[in-house]
Structure 1
Amino acid sequence: MPTNTIKTIDLPIDLSKIQLDALDGSLKLKKAVASLDWEKIKELSNSYLRTGNLSLRKLYQSCERLRQADRTIEKIKSGHRAQKAIKSNELLLTNAIAFRLQAEIELQKIAIKNTEVTKNSGEMVQIASAAMNKINSLLDEYQIQLYTLILQKKTQQEISQKCLEFSDFIESFVPELAQAQVKFVKVFEYFKAKGISGNLRKLGFVLTQINQLTRECLASYVASHMLMFQLVGVNLKKDASVFKKINFMPYDIDFPDGKNVSISQVEKMPEGKFVELQGVVEQVKMVDTEQGSYSQVIVKDLKDKNQVEVVMPFVNIQIYGLQKGCYCNLNGEVRHNSSFSKGKTVVHIDKLRLNTSLEKAWRVSFLNLAAPNYFCWPKNLNMAWSIAINQ
């Protein structure tokens, strides 16, 4: 499947694409979407579509594509092994959980739209943090179980069954993951609007982590199916190191981490200093130069309003979901005379060496099975960002 046909559906999801404010009074449809009651969705959506509501039409189309993906998964569970059918539905498998998450996020936005944050911000953060930690722990647990089964050379049936359990588990906690993201965003927006900057950096970092956790969930969902396809003999031209090299691979490995500095300190850093920055994206655009095209990202510190330009050579980061309003956490090298942006101090984004040293980790190899239909680390960039926050 050509990569450029699927980049546009990569997360973070553009929440402006499906506006469901018109559903405020449509509790039946909300419940039908949340429970994936296809017949009810079709019945209710058809009645609403007669009004010409574009938002509802988009929601219904998304649900229909998700339904197709569910049918594909059911074929796999029942032992369907036709290579042609599996290959043609790789993209549907990729989309399945993403569409579910998209619908859930929109429904959660509506559910807590009028929630008074002033009184219960601490409680909202506590609940969302607990959900994120639980999901992160269980995700890691399932990955370790798969790693152990393969390492112990268990049967094809045992490993396939664990893959199915893993994907079912991810589907089951999508609503909780959506709730956690929306609650964090709601509290962040409240503190930002009130000018309470002390908590913004911490909350912003958590937002980037929960969205990266979402990426890992989606990558795990796709990778578990790709792993299962390989077990039943479907040649998808995927990296076989999850099987062949496992005896020489540690389970995981740490990613490079720069010196944590504020944006105001970047100018004082020596040439080539590896740094870690946080801030909200003020601007994203593609720039063409003689050296080639690059993404120019302006990141602002919400506390002191200082800004820095981040250069991402030969990458169009916008198609992966980075946009104005996203909070980001990134690692890169300080350049005082970059060939891409002469005369200014900029930060060149760091690229993870996923095809060299980091591929020695089984977890990285496993998550990369989702490529090219889904990327846990888009373009191998050493950064994470949140869903867009209202300006």
Structure 2
Amino acid sequence: MAVRLLSHELSDLCLGKPALRSLSVTSTIAEALEVLRTSDDNFVSVWSCDHNPKTSPAFEPAAAFPDECRCVGKICIVDVICYLCGDEILVSPPLALKQPVSVLLPEIPGLVLHVEPTCSLLEAIDLILGGAQNLVVPIKTKPSNKRSKQQQKPSLTVTNHKGREFCWLTQEDVIRFLLSSIGLFSPVPAFSIDALNMISPNTITIEYHSPASAALGAISRALLEQTSVAVVDREGALIGEISPFTLACCDETVAAAVKTLSSGDLMAYIDCGGPPEELVKVVSAKLKEKNLNGMLQHFTVSMCSGGFSSASSSSDEEYSMAAQVSPSPRPGRLSRSMSYSARMVRRSEAIVCHPKSSLVAVMVQAIAHRVNYVWVIEEDCSLVGIVTFSDMLRVFRENFETMA
């Protein structure tokens, strides 16, 4: 039965999936921020193709997908935050946000791959274990000679590529699908993660009192590996985490907090309750102390307006004028959009399990909290390692080999 499950086509997993919102690779970072502000997804796909709806045909057969129209990557707020933390970039964020989104794409091939709807689940798992994070799958649509609403009203994002729409599948989608038929893999799901040799000791950590800027490389690595940065005390006990998932629910001015706060204070700053007023004042004071006036103006305006200011002002002078007429900073969470309430926002407390936790229990934990990993700790909170979706898929893949 498990063999039959893994032979399912990816089209079965795509049912009900929305079409990708996408950007051209030539779009600016400021434009990407506007898209992310109104998106229900933390990521937006980046494409290398003609996004002009006036030149796109109404429909194109599934087998005729042109090579010149491809998804070349994905970006999120965390990419922008890490980019803005560059010393030269901090001097003038408005100028940096005019750069094309291509500067944010990691130079690692294979993170996003195109596959056909007929690709089997087993083949998809192999691609994920080979390093793919997102699989771009064409959505089956009916031919139409009528211009779509997308074509009638051009907007910043485009879902229609040469007459076709696409969705993408993630590791979480595959794990959810397997969990729905977990009994077919019995008794493996009931085994402990320790017995299944799933616990990876290769964790990314930062000490609680260390400068958050020292974790910048770790945050970038965690984003690429779809994990997180564990915040530990001097004895190695897990205190919390700096999660790319949580950062992705903030706005780009968190870069100022990364450059000025400790790792422990950064956890409090990005927590779901919003940055405490005293930490906002600390960030402002330290930016002024370091003569980072460009970031200080950008930070002040964004906090005063309660939202993204990246695309609304194009010069340092405009930022300065806005800062003079804006009300005092509010202590609430950095606003994203009206769709923000639909997002799952969690606190900086890490999601944990123990070595004797069962595989299925850890799967449920990760899916319930919308993360790709679970930290593994001992009773004294000492950090043992981490279990990721990739580790889970590896176990199912190995189990399938024994059942085939």
**TM-score, normalising length: structure 2:** 0.25
Whose helix fraction is larger, Structure 1's or Structure 2's? 1
**TM-score, normalising length: structure 1:** 0.26
